Amino acid sequence: MRLLERMRKEWFLIGIVLAIAGAKLEPSIGVNGGPLKPEITVSYIAVATIFFNSGLSLNTEFLT
């Protein structure tokens, strides 16, 4: 039970380690022209999502 509590607390770190391990085991998924299409998703979708989330966190009084 203690291990499960620790995993819940460190979920982000565990996710990063799993993502790195997955990329090491199957690198062909993330190459240009691969199924994830990083030339599109990273260039446009990821950047737009980051800016959108940053905009949502702005204080509405600051915007006016």
> Of 22, 38, 40, which Cα lies nearest the Cα of 30?
38
pLDDT at res. 41: 85
**What distance in Å separates the CA atoms of residue 19 and residue 62, rounded to the nearest whole number?**
37
Q: What is this structure's pTM?
A: 0.60
- Domain locations in the chain as residue ranges: 2-63
> Using one digit for the tens of pLDDT, what is the confidence trace for 51-61?
999 988 888 88
Helices (H), the chain: 2-9, 11-25, 38-40, 47-56, 60-63
Q: Given this model, what pLDDT does residue 61 score?
A: 82
Would you write out the chain's pLDDT as a tens digit for each of its 64 residues? Answer: 799 999 999 999 999 999 999 999 999 988 888 888 888 888 899 999 999 999 888 888 877 7
Burial of 26 (C-beta count, 10 Å sphere; 0-12/13-18/19+): exposed
The single-letter DSSP state of residue 37 is -
